[in-house]
Amino acid sequence: MSDIKPVAAFLEKLKDNLLPVVVDFWAPWCGPCKRIEPILHRVGEEYAQQADVWRVNADENPEVLRHFNVYGIPTLIAFRGGREIQRATGVQSPGAMKALFESAVSGEVKASSGIPAMERVVRLGSGAVLIGLGAMGGYVGFFLALAVLGGLIAFSGVHDRCPIWQAIAPKAGAWLRAITRRA
């Protein structure tokens, strides 16, 4: 795993690499980046003969991130023959990470192991209905609770794609565990 500085050198090396490449855009201060590092290492070892893993430090290589339109870290991008095959932003499960490596190896985009599209639509729709009911009741008392519940249900349909949520969720979980231990 190596860091690569200039964009031109990165693109040239990517094009010339014999194996597909999974690039991890990360930063040393990034909690979610630290969280996926052991998973990336383990999955990378499983695919060692089939794909390479490169790490690009966002702080040291902002021009490379800009070139690939990376706006949140960690972001993993699978390349084959210098061409982007698939990307994932935020904390990834081992299954999702394997799917990314499989995409790099096969050259085909694999279905996401996240929330299925229909379930996403149902969550967003249900949340919108509950928010609408809350609005009809003027967001007072029970109707406020309904709207808040609707917002939570709607958010559950998109949380896996939200880099901000991926960054704060581990900290919020640790904070809540600390509070419940004191109580």
Strands lying side by side in the sheet with 52-57: 52-57, 21-26, 75-80, 83-89
pLDDT at 101: 93
**Residues marked as catalytic:** 30, 33
pLDDT at 1: 44
pLDDT at 5: 55
Q: What is the pLDDT along the chain (183 residues), one digit of tens a residue?
A: 444 457 888 889 999 999 999 999 999 999 889 999 999 999 999 999 999 999 999 999 999 999 998 888 999 999 998 889 999 888 888 888 998 999 999 988 765 556 677 888 898 999 999 999 999 999 999 999 999 999 989 888 887 777 777 667 777 777 878 888 876
pLDDT at 46: 95
Pairwise CA distance, residues 78 & 110, whole Å: 11
State which CATH number among 3.40.30.10, 3.30.450.20, 1.10.3720.10, 3.40.50.720 fits the domain covering 7-106: 3.40.30.10
Structural domain boundaries in the chain: 7-106, 117-182
